[in-house]
Amino acid sequence: MKVTVVGATGLVGSKMLQVLTERNFPVTELIPVASEKSVGKEVTFKGKQYKVVTAETAISMKPNVALFSAGGSISLEWAPKFAAAGITVIDNSSAWRMDPSKKLVVPEINGKTLTTEDKIIANPNCSTIQMVLVLSPLHELYKINRVVVSTYQSVTGTGVKAVNQLMNERKGISGEMAYAYPIDLNVIPQIDVFLDNGYTKEEMKMVNETKKIMGDDRIRVTATTVRIPVIGGHSESVNIEFEKDFELNEVRKTLAATPGVIVVDEPSAQQYPMPKDAHDKDEVFVGRIRRDETQANTLNMWIVADNLRKGAATNAVQIAEYLHAQKMI
């Protein structure tokens, strides 16, 4: 099983290598790809050193699967070239997510829709993945009408430059800025660029991707996405209006039985999910589960996950695991 990681030296690419190791994915040969300036450098994987190569060289080495985490423009250019060579691409960028000819996959929800014909598979947005993993089993039971979500997203969602900005500001050092404003001791209510409708691209990703993954265009979603001075882990306040009424105990039991979800919901003991508790974990954590007392059939909850793992690297590796188990790669 030859595996290429495109963007192997970046935050998500490095996390992909870690997750491949931890989950013992059957890699017989790793082919790390990065920018021209990184070619020839070495990447350590399972105690062995592998030289970084160009995307072109990687294609010639005929890997079975390519995990992409190098940005949308690289994906648009190179994913079709890998696919044309018969290599299955799992892409972490936003390049292919809303392409009607490409599957947008969270394995626990819609992995079964994948076939051998799917040569470019899109990995959803980090903030969408953790939300839909919780929404999906509840949608099956009660049918979701509308979701109102506000996110509290960590700086690792932007990349190393943003982490450096936060740490520099914390130390009182001036340096390169990833954001237009200071992030330490601040909150920035903008993630990605603004669109004509006044929402940001990140907010509309959550709106559109949720419908596509859950296979239901009737679900109405409205989002506000916010950057906070936290190193890792995204949090979300989610308000869900259902068609049918629910019992809180049934909601908790359903979520506790959902693969990949952990319920942390003991308000009397001050037990609820926090980013620091989700660090380096693959699960999505949910708590503060309570009825919205202002309208019927409506639920409030708080969802937290490590955005570099289930929100990116782990989900991509889980797609590869599913393909391997089904003998599609």
* Active centre residues (catalytic): 126, 234
Residue with tokens 């000819």, as numbered in its chain: 101
Q: Which long-range contacts (CB under 8 A, 24 or more apart) does 97-106 make?
A: 97/122, 97/124, 97/125, 97/205, 97/209, 97/212, 98/208, 98/209, 98/212, 104/209, 104/212, 104/213, 105/213, 105/315, 105/319, 106/132, 106/133, 106/136, 106/213, 106/315
Between CA 293 and CA 176 the distance in angstroms is: 46
Q: At 200, which amino acid appears?
A: T
Which among 184, 195, 190 has a CA at the least distance from the CA of 162?
A: 184
Q: At 42, which amino acid appears?
A: E
Which residues lie across from 27 on neighbouring strands? none
Tokens at 87, concatenated = 């290599």
Q: 10 Å Cβ neighbour count for 80?
A: 14
Between CA 7 and CA 32 the distance in angstroms is: 8
Enter the DSSP assignment of 220.
E
User: Which residues, 6 or more positions from 260, have their beta carbon under 8 angstroms from its beta carbon?
Assistant: 108, 133, 282, 283, 284, 310
